[in-house]
Structure 1
């Protein structure tokens, strides 16, 4: 990796921002370590092994700092990639703009093989951190926890908070949150989180953590709060998700619809969470069965001259509601089909709350009923499909529900049976 002060993309008239250039094999652990060593901040995901330059950016890329610093696609300054016809191209806001549009949200395994990316290097910044965990034998505490999160969702987003909420599973798993904000002073952060910290303090000895701290950098906050709660890997997973719009969370009736849906989802997942395949009971793992990811770019001004191809629903969302049902790699066909059916059912419940919203394609229901609208929106999809037909007429690069995919392709025969 290299840090380029005043990076000038190829073909552009002058510098656009400080940038970090990295190869396709670089995971976020190395990215964050590099950023710390160079006193900068880079927007990225929660898992240290995810590759920043590949599917993460092709799907859009979100993380704990996306609320204030934008999504991964908002931070890309340049991508170098190999097209399906073998051509090696450089794409940025000054050249190959169509390809630059497609690579930033058009989906992995679709438009090219990314070899190198330059992303924005933001200044290193002090973060306020809210770290809350509780284990309660009273299931109503989970419901109250959800209600407080819903009622304060938009206010917290306006205060710059981004991160992860885990409502638990009716006392089987830990409930809590890991939030970061660069917008507030410590006293302002304490005041902002007071509705939750006051409630959690009232619960007594079931509380594991209930603090608002200060961290001098994202890397230090990441190592202290996210890494110990890291997702457990090595399991299969069926996923259901939905982007929850700000407008739904802005009204009393909308908030109640979200609360009702959250409680329904938690109840659906509760019987599945007490197995050895699930994360540690005290962890707020990114692999927990149900989470509210506060990773939409709520406070980020989207004025890109070459917009990305992600669904516009990201721009209107406060939350990315995410559920997953895990299964062992040697699970029976019936177990796997059951996992995908449950995830599909969860997705339908979440869609009912926000029918006109969308979903994050990298973490969505495999059997999403309307992927065109959910993942891209009609306008983006139509443009992407035209580009796909021009750039890859033989569909050399393809995947499930990708732009221009062929559902009859024999390679999809190993997928589970479609849920009802």
Structure 2
């Protein structure tokens, strides 16, 4: 028989669970359930004073905003579209304006409010800060947001009326000559599938970036898969899968994870690896971030860096408005898988142009990278492509090839940070993974023509490769389409803020481009970190046959939906309504 005190405790617990499990909407300022000023102050004290209430960064250009400073406005305006670290270093800013509804751009003629941003931010520097933030949000039914760098094409790092966990300042890198995952007290083998647990490894924190990791690994001659942007946080990259030039040889970033430390939605700090919390470990390697909890520490396998040859191959029309441009580009594309199978990886581009100047603009080219390989091999593989194009369409195309040698891939990468990707703009991208069946389609030329943005380009990341293909689809939650993909093909559109008609047209055009790629590869999927956030059937497109298991794991670790983000696992039961997150 239960005592009266036990019955009372159970009754209170049930009432709390009922209140927050069945609440119609997450609390927002002005609601009876929103914490009082004193409650926020008490919460801040428990965090050692790291709770922030930041104003919109663009407010420096707007009289009446608390951070208005006309002397700073020109500098912020200049940095807004040219400096990714500016947005990364701000607790609530993000790289793409449309995800906070252009609510406060640093232009005096634009409106300004904080409506598109989080209300409070926990500037987390240790796991306990993350733990307390999760508990506070869960107990008070407040929407949670997680941000590191803010470089997120799906807008998952900013949320209105939320409490945001900013992990940007969580740092700590440790290199290991060998690493064996923790067994959790169980006397059994803990060998990750497909990986040698005694390999060299790197442990890092949630705020560490691609540049931080690779620079550290380079000190011992080792390498990690990386994006083009040095300042992008590694955590969001690896949880989405993480493609790279290096990964084409050694696997996706998610394939190399040995162990994770996670703060779960119930506020516990747990270790996830092949021996303990196995389902969570499987889900976090490719299932997306800000969904199953907050990863505060990662351990990733390393492998030796190698001398690298970069061979830039370009083919462009030497006649105006060549009617065979897409035919030639399609033929070249069909030959690329053979090059990838030989161990090369590349960033390819199809760039048509309406230029009236001969040879200007229109071209298709690939920056091919060979790790530990001689450029002569690539020239031998690429020469037949050029010969076929010149023989089939004589006097229509010019061919160029340039060779560059680097002592290691790090030497190339460190000197060539990505400065071309736009920031501080309104943009949405779409993508599709293409396998050899798609690339060999006899109508490939027409599909390419439909998918390429007029006056823009189609990007072909040729980063599938043997290292990705030789991993079993069951290894982790990565979209199974990666295991047969050769190209991650990407298109993107942008628009001028507040130009509604232009935005509508651009998004409609994006649907056309992505539809062409989807028809070309109907049985494939898309890379979740670089995909259309408005993609239909996105759960299946981003995770394929893995989605049912992912959803079951999500419901198991987060039954009350403490974490929610757009185009994420388990988000079906909620929608954003006027800046508030509500049940559907």
TM-score (norm 1): 0.83
Question: Does the CA contact (< 8 Å) of 2:340 and 2:465 recur in 1?
Answer: no
- Match for residue 464 of structure 2 among 274, 287, 296: 296
Question: Does the CA contact (< 8 Å) of 2:305 and 2:410 recur in 1?
Answer: no
Please list the CA deviations of residues 380-403 of structure 1 after superposition, one character each: whole Å capped at 9, or x if unmatched. 111111111111111111111211
Please list the CA deviations of residues 175-219 of structure 1 after superposition, one character each: whole Å capped at 9, or x if unmatched. 422221226433222212224566899989987x62133322111
Deviation at 1:318, TM superposition (A): 0.8
The secondary structure found in structure 1 opposite 2:443 is helix
Question: Does the CA contact (< 8 Å) of 2:327 and 2:445 recur in 1?
Answer: no
Structure 2: tracts of 5 or more residues without a match: 1-172, 184-188, 192-196, 356-360
Structure 1: tracts of 5 or more residues without a match: 274-288, 416-420
TM-score (norm 2): 0.61
Deviation at 1:294, TM superposition (A): 0.9
Please list the CA deviations of residues 335-379 of structure 1 after superposition, one character each: whole Å capped at 9, or x if unmatched. 22222222122111111001111111111122222223211113x
**Alignment pair present for 1:235 and 2:425:** yes
Aligned counterparts of 1:246 and 1:183: Cα–Cα separation in 2: 25
* Residues 348-363 of structure 1 aligned to structure 2 (within 5 Å): 348-363=515-530
For the structure 1 residues 405 and 223, does the alpha-carbon distance in structure 2 shift closer, same or farther, using more than 3 Å as the test?
Answer: same
Aligned counterparts of 2:302 and 2:370: Cα–Cα separation in 1: 18
**Alignment pair present for 1:127 and 2:308:** yes
Deviation at 1:76, TM superposition (A): 1.0
The secondary structure found in structure 2 opposite 1:8 is coil
Aligned residue in 2 for 1:318: 486
The secondary structure found in structure 1 opposite 2:417 is helix
**Alignment pair present for 1:396 and 2:562:** yes
- Match for residue 383 of structure 1 among 545, 549, 569: 549
- Match for residue 38 of structure 1 among 207, 220, 226: 220
Aligned residue in 1 for 2:260: 79
Deviation at 1:121, TM superposition (A): 1.0
For the structure 1 residues 170 and 75, does the alpha-carbon distance in structure 2 shift closer, same or farther, using more than 3 Å as the test?
Answer: same
For the structure 1 residues 190 and 91, does the alpha-carbon distance in structure 2 shift closer, same or farther, using more than 3 Å as the test?
Answer: same
Single out whichever of 167-176 and 154-163 deviates more from structure 2.
Answer: 167-176
Deviation at 1:413, TM superposition (A): 6.0
Aligned residue in 1 for 2:97: none
Aligned residue in 2 for 1:169: 352
Aligned counterparts of 1:114 and 1:171: Cα–Cα separation in 2: 47
Question: Does the CA contact (< 8 Å) of 1:239 and 1:340 recur in 2?
Answer: no
Number of residue pairs aligned between Structure 1 and Structure 2:
388
**Alignment pair present for 1:179 and 2:368:** yes
Aligned residue in 2 for 1:219: 410
**Alignment pair present for 1:307 and 2:478:** no
Deviation at 1:168, TM superposition (A): 1.4
Please list the CA deviations of residues 65-124 of structure 1 after superposition, one character each: whole Å capped at 9, or x if unmatched. 222111011111111121111111111122211011110111222111111111111112
Question: Does the CA contact (< 8 Å) of 1:197 and 1:210 recur in 2?
Answer: no
RMSD of aligned residue pairs (Cα, Å): 2.9
**Alignment pair present for 1:343 and 2:510:** yes
Aligned residue in 1 for 2:436: 246
- Match for residue 450 of structure 2 among 243, 261, 264: 264
Single out whichever of 388-397 and 365-374 deviates more from structure 2.
Answer: 365-374
- Match for residue 249 of structure 2 among 53, 68, 72: 68
* Residues 110-149 of structure 1 aligned to structure 2 (within 5 Å): 110-132=291-313, 138-140=320-322, 142-143=325-326, 146-149=329-332
Aligned counterparts of 1:198 and 1:331: Cα–Cα separation in 2: 49
Question: Does the CA contact (< 8 Å) of 1:200 and 1:210 recur in 2?
Answer: no
Q: Which has the higher contact order (CA 8 A, sep 6+)?
A: 1
The secondary structure found in structure 1 opposite 2:200 is strand
**Alignment pair present for 1:22 and 2:204:** yes
For the structure 1 residues 323 and 188, does the alpha-carbon distance in structure 2 shift closer, same or farther, using more than 3 Å as the test?
Answer: same
The secondary structure found in structure 1 opposite 2:259 is strand
- Rg bigger for which structure? 2
